[in-house]
Structure 1
Amino acid sequence: MATQDLTLSSDSSKDPSDIAKDLEKGLELSRHLTNSAVSTFSWSDVGVVVKDRKTKQPLQILTSSYGSVKAGSILALMGPSGSGKTTLLNVLAHRTSSMKGEIQGKIMMNGRPTNASAVQQVSTYVEQEDAMIGILTLRETIDFAARLSVNGKMSKRERLARVNELIESFGLQRQADTIVGTPLRKGLSGGQKRRLSVASQLVTSPRVVFLDEPTSGLDSAASFECMNYIKQVAKQHNLIVIASIHQPSTTTFQLFDQLMLLSEGRTCYFGPVSNIEKYFERIRRPLPLHINPAEYLLDLVNSDFSHTAGAAEGSLRYIQDAWTASEDYKALEVAITTSTALGTAGPPISSARTSSKNVVTVSWVLLHRNFIKSYRDFIAYGTRIAMYFGLAIMMGTVWLRLSFSQTSIQPFTNAIFFGGAFMSFMAVAYVPSIIEDLHTFNKERHNGLYGPLPFVIANTLIGVPWLFLIAIMFSVVTYWLGHFNPTAGGFWMWVLWLFLDLLAAEGLVVLVSSIFPIFVVALAITAFANGLWMCVDGFMVPMGKLNPFWKYVFHYIDYQAYVFQGMMANQFRSTIWDCAKSPEGFQCMYPSDLESEGKIRGTAVLEAYKYSWSSGVIGEWIGIMFAIIFAYRVLGYLVLVLKKH
């Protein structure tokens, strides 16, 4: 109940004096946060040319952009939709791997030309979407970010002190033990989540912070509070903050030190926010009284919704040309050129961030985080445990205490197919959880915390105990209620096959979700793949009668086929079945050497399916299953390596 009370508290209801107290108390961060490495971040003649999708001709989406931001300042990149502000932000942050086009110009820190590696070492990028693990508390979210970013020389006490200082500096003390929030459980408000996003990135000790629309989706009060905390932290610790923003309120707009106004990829203004009124008065576009200046400027440079398109385009061209002809523009060019000349002669920038950890250490941290998520988040494994337990009861009572007569051979075969196929098919319940993990991974990877290998290792290991628990639970109910091969060896072999089935199915889910990290798409493709495996596993059409195309292209790589074969061998290789009696004698459905005694040797059923039952062949099937499981994980890893954001 206490958590709910914390959750429902509104950011906008906080008294300004409380904010001041929070800032006074919290802004005493340790030296790790203070920037003394990067004094200026600038760019010169930056442009982006892409290929137009319709005409296939070169299209300039960003033209000759110049800018410079000093330490302790916040720059707002503002403009209407399609103006190029997000493109420019991504270019400055060197997040251009998915940008299919030519990037022009120079980006500099302290006047020295820089590259992606150098920028990544001293910066962080806070995305518009809050990619966080919803079941973790606010404190845990920041703490895990700290554990992933700092080296082993920092003690636990020092790390926790750093976390607590950040929580205080962003005024989140009362929400420290509240979960972020999931579809099933309420958590932080939108403004609190946005502040948490920034705080969890600042724990990595960046000197330059890129924010992609940090106030998107927030009301004006929450937007102001979020940016106010960011401004105070930036001022106190000399950070450089560059934020794209769409349409801030008047109070939020005044928090920015500088503004870069963009439209159709060209700059309309760059300079102090305090100088906007004078500049636009000089170019005969004065700001009206009693109006939000940000709103007026956006209307001024937006020609999309004008009733007189020609006049609007002409007005926009005038504003763009006025900027390039202005003294402010020339002064900016000179300042950047001068700083570049001075910076080239100076010492290189040393990395302010601690060195990255080894794979084992990072994997252990991720495994710990995944473990917390797995037992708290009902969607991750709780859904499947409940679903499989219900299925086990249903299956055990439908196939209740079947006899070892020949009339039960087909029902047992049906049960084997249904159990294995349904177990693998319903692994799609894992899709929402793995997609959340992938979004978090993408954010942390692009901020330089770790790569695909630790993620894949931790994700693989965390599933093993839970899937084994599911296999045991399902088997205890179905195996003995259904009266399958009543031996201890038979039971544990059944458990093994179900366990391998679940491991392979989860590996398939991870692979598909890595390729298509969209819930509906991943769900549909995984379901289709499992439907395909069900069709060619040898139950619907026995392997001996299967079309050569399906047999040689798909059957031999079908993990469900090996599960079905293995479970069939487990059930029939050592069991004896009763034939039907008639006045003429015994009528046996499957001929065997026991027919004269009115019995069917179980191996006769396996022969009908063209299955072997020797221990060597079964061991080979188990080996193939492990190979398929390994292949799914390796392919998932390769997808993550090759995919760039």
Structure 2
Amino acid sequence: MAYNHPRDVIPDIEKAFNDVHLHNDIIDTFCWERVSVRVKDKTQDKRLLESIDGAAYAGELVAMMGPSGSGKSTLLNVLAHRPFEPKFSVEGQLCINRAAASTAIFRRASCFVEQEDSLIGSLTARETLDFAAKLGLPNSVSRAERKRRVEELLASFGLLRVADTIIGTAIRKGLSGGEKRRVSVASQLITCPKILFLDEPTSGLDSVASFEVMSLLKEVAKKNRIIVIASIHQPSTATFNLFDKVFLLSQGKLCYGGPVSFLSNYLEDIRLPMPLHMNPAEYILELVNVDFASDQIRAEQLIRITQLWQNPAKRPREAQVVDVSFDSSARPVSLMPLTKRSQLLIPITLLHRNWIKSYRDVLTYGIRIAMYLGLALMMGTVWLRLQSDQEYIQPFINAIFFGSAFMSFMAVAYVPAYLEDRSTFIKERANGLYGATSFLVANFIIGLPWLFLISVLFSIIAYWLCNFRPDASAFFTFVMWLFLDLVAAESLVVFMASIFPVFVIALALTAFANGLWMSVGGFLVNPTVLNVFWKYWARYIDFQSYVFQGMMVNEFSQRVFECSPAPSGSQADCSCMYRSHLQDQCQIDGEAILDSYGYGRGNTRLWVGILLCIVLGYRLLTLGVLMLKKT
């Protein structure tokens, strides 16, 4: 079913934002010359692209096509100034209006839409565009103007009917695949780019939805003189005919680069006429697909196609790409300086967006709250109403360990929510919206109230059911340690998931790290007998060890336990498990228990300070990882 959209409301971006973004300079031409990419490592030295030339003009819709592995996505990434790993060697000349443009200027003039829709599932379509405008537009744009711009894009992309529908999460169904793709594109157009790159914009869409997305893009590109360059795999005939130009790649070489309208004539000239009643996109992909060129004739045919295009004299005049040579006398494009976005407003905007996500998406904190409440009930009923007799000392210690260690262990549930946030951050950073510092600051702050709420709710249930020391100050100290435990555990999750942004790997490594911290935290092996290899490094950076110490001191430093009656025939009045100055009174001073673990009193502030340093350390390491890892 085709989507209905009012064609008469396609926004005039240039008119609306002429004084905001590009002002006096217009990008008429984007050229690339002799673009080559080589990958080098220990096992291979392979050319992914070989001397690719091309050009695109304002208002054109350009397709990058080729079979899998042909290099179309690589070429798109080169043209979009996307970062490459050090093992990739990139050569060539890129120019705007035949003059060189710095990466900073190019980033301001262009946007990139990923193949996967990196959208926050708990936001509505309108909110997604509104936050894109808040993050991407300069401060000089008024709130009313920003709202008008959002509404125009919603109308032009046929999204008004679903503007207040959420994108969709694993729990709640939202927009369709085609609607999500249109939201992705519209959110990039909000900042009025002059060049728009799209990686497989029709991936996962049916032919009708693909045609609608691309036809809308063509309308916007023509009306606003935007250069749209898209890698596309196998479009339908109707979608293929929407493109003004096509660049056909095979094995990293260009087989055709020119107007779609003259492709048929070119194939006729090289004696490979296009069959009637066949999708031209399918036919040309078959011509250049080396994966299934098993026979000699097909292989020789592909070599001939490539060689013919490499000889400019053999190309038809209409299909000739313009002279893309770099013109040293051309005036470099100079964009109007943007009103600098406030470095304070960016984290505030991210906080606002994260807050909406945190209470709408149950996978972020809702499931965790339910999980922790279940854990509190289980703990409170297993260690129900522990008494002040000495046989309950060990159960008290066990409960303290369980409450602290497993609370931090279960922080692994935050991995999927963080990976979604990170995916959005990678996309928005690549488009120059904000950096790693703003992302991490917002991510850290938004978690604090939720983690504090979890700590309070857990403590209200478990603390009193277990019959820990009945004192208000002891209760709130218990809450404090639990809160710091969760903050440190979540910081560990963020660090691990930033190093390995794959769900299963991040989950496994975080679980492994928590298992290590449990082992050396002081409960499973008494600190006085822990071997030196683990004692003098792991235990001192183990946040769980400080939480366990703090909770032990909080519980036992001001508590007294009753000794058991002495066995019959014994001269003593009672039998005490721990020696203390209260032994004559058949009691055990709680400090004797702490002495057996080697825990001193009066170190609470020191331990809190160390815990805060560990949290800061995890966050700074995460910042370094995000700065180094661009993808």
TM-score, structure 1 as length reference:
0.94
Say whether 1:264 aligns with 2:248.
Answer: no
1:571 pairs with one of 555, 575, 580:
555
1:6-64: per-residue Cα shift (whole Å, max 9, x none)? Answer: xxxxxx343xxx43xx121243446246776210001111111222653x3x3211111
The verdict on how the C-alpha distance between 1:334 and 1:159 changes in structure 2, with shifts beyond 3 A counting, is closer
Among 8, 13, 36, the residue aligned to 1:47: 36
Alignment-derived partner of residue 601 in structure 1 = 589
1:266 aligned partner, one-letter code? K
Whether 1:467 and 2:451 are equivalent positions in the alignment is yes
For the structure 1 residues 85 and 382, does the alpha-carbon distance in structure 2 shift closer, same or farther, using more than 3 Å as the test? same
Change (3 A) 1:303 1:52: farther
Please say if residues 445 and 451 of structure 1, whose CA atoms lie closer than 8 Å, have aligned partners that are also in contact.
Answer: yes
Question: Higher mean Cα deviation, 259-268 or 355-364?
Answer: 355-364
Query: Contact 1:150–1:356 (CA<8 Å) still a contact in 2?
Result: no
Cα deviations by residue, 1:370-411 (Å, 9 ceiling, x for unpaired): 000001110001111001111111111111111111011000
Percent identity between matched residues is 52
Give the deviation of 1:154 after TM superposition: 1.5
For residues 399-428 of structure 1, the C-alpha deviation after alignment (integer angstroms, 9 at most, x for no partner) is 111111101100000000000001000001
Q: Deviation string for 1:45-88 (max 9, x for gaps)?
A: 1111222653x3x3211111010100000110000011110110
Instruction: Could you list the structure 1 runs, at least 4 aligned residues long, displaced by more than 6 angstroms after superposition.
Output: 330-334
Query: Cα distance, 1:97 vs. partner?
Result: 2.9
Matches of 2:349 and 2:454 in 1, distance apart? 25
Alignment match, 1:644: 630
Distance of 1:599 and 1:330 partners within structure 2: 102
Partner of 1:175: 162
Pick aligned residue for 2:358 from 367, 374, 384 = 374
Q: Are 1:447 and 2:434 an aligned pair?
A: no
Residue in 2 that maps onto 1:187: 174
Q: Per-residue deviation at 1:355?
A: 4.3
- TM-superposed CA distance for 1:643, in Å, is 1.1
Does residue 306 of structure 2 align to residue 320 of structure 1?
yes
CA RMSD in angstroms, aligned pairs only: 1.6
The 3-state SS of whatever aligns with 1:438 is helix
User: Residue 539 of structure 1: SS of its match in structure 2?
Assistant: coil
Which residue of 272, 275, 299 corresponds with 1:288? 275
Show the counterpart of 1:76: 63
- TM-score, normalised to structure 2, is 0.96
- Aligned residue pairs total 621
Report if the CA contact (8 A) 1:149-1:204 is conserved: yes
Are 2:54 and 2:321, in contact at CA under 8 Å, matched by a contact in 1?
no
**What letter is aligned with 1:317?**
I
Partner of 1:628: helix, strand, or coil?
A: helix
Cross-structure match for 2:412: 428
Distance 2:315 2:410 in 1: 61
Retained in 1: the 8 A contact 2:63–2:231?
Answer: yes
Q: 1:251 aligns with which of 238, 258, 262?
A: 238
Tell me, in whole angstroms, the C-alpha distance in 2 between the residues paired with 1:376 and 1:241.
35
Shift of 1:356: 4.4
Aligned residue number for residue 615 of structure 2: 629
Three-state SS of the structure 2 residue aligned to 1:248 is coil
Q: Give the Cα–Cα distance (whole angstroms) in 2 for the partners of residues 531 and 433 of structure 1.
A: 22
Correspondence list, 1:220-235, <5 A: 220-235=207-222
User: For the residues of structure 2 that align with 1:65 and 1:475, how far apart are their CA atoms?
Assistant: 64
How far 1:329 sits from its partner (Å)? 5.4
SS at match of 1:480: helix
Question: Corresponding residue for 1:618?
Answer: 604
CA distance in 2, matches of 1:167, 1:108: 33
C-alpha deviation, 1:186, in angstroms: 0.5
Helix, strand or coil: the match of 2:292? coil
Measure, in 1, the Cα distance between the counterparts of 2:172 and 2:513. Answer: 32
Shift of 1:169: 1.0
Equivalent residue, structure 2, for 1:458: 442
Structure 1 residue 325, shift from structure 2 partner: 1.7
* Matched position secondary structure for 2:404: helix
Distance (whole Å) between structure 1 residues aligned to residue 464 and residue 178 of structure 2 = 54
Change beyond 3 A, Cα 1:403–1:638: same
**1:332-368 CA-partner distances (Å, limit 9, x unpaired):** 8883246x33xx4343212268444232110000000
CA distance in 2, matches of 1:300, 1:496: 68
Instruction: Map Cα deviations across residues 253-309 of structure 1 (whole Å, 9 max, x no partner).
Output: 00000000000010000110000010110011110101000000000011211331x
Q: 1:548, CA displacement in angstroms?
A: 0.8
- The amino acid of 1:231's aligned partner reads K
Q: Distance in 2 between matches of 1:429 and 1:458?
A: 19
| Alignment match, 1:127 | 114
Distance 2:398 2:244 in 1: 71
- Uncovered stretches (5+) of structure 1, i.e. residues with no partner: 1-11
Contact 1:40 1:69 (8 Å CA) reproduced: yes
Letter in 1 for 2:33: S
AA aligned to 1:142 is: L
Match of 2:383 among 399, 402, 407: 399
Q: Is the 8 A contact 1:121 1:352 kept in 2?
A: no
> What is the CA distance between 1:581 and its match in structure 2?
1.2
Contact 1:33-1:202 at 8 Å conserved across structures: no
Give the superposition deviation at 1:556: 0.7
By how many angstroms is 1:150 displaced?
A: 1.3
Paired residues of 1:74 and 1:242 also in contact (CA < 8 A): yes
Partner of residue 145, structure 1: 132
Q: Which moved more, 1:31-40 or 1:214-223?
A: 31-40
Change (3 A) 1:205 1:353: farther
Out of 541, 547, 555, which is 2:539 matched to?
555
Q: Could you tell me which amino acid in structure 2 is paired with residue 597 of structure 1?
A: Q
On the 8 A contact 1:111/1:336 being kept in 2, the answer is: no
Query: Given that residues 426 and 630 in structure 2 are in contact (C-alpha distance below 8 angstroms), is that contact kept between their aligned partners in structure 1?
Result: no
Q: 1:501 aligns with which of 475, 485, 492?
A: 485
Aligned residue in 1 for 2:577: 589
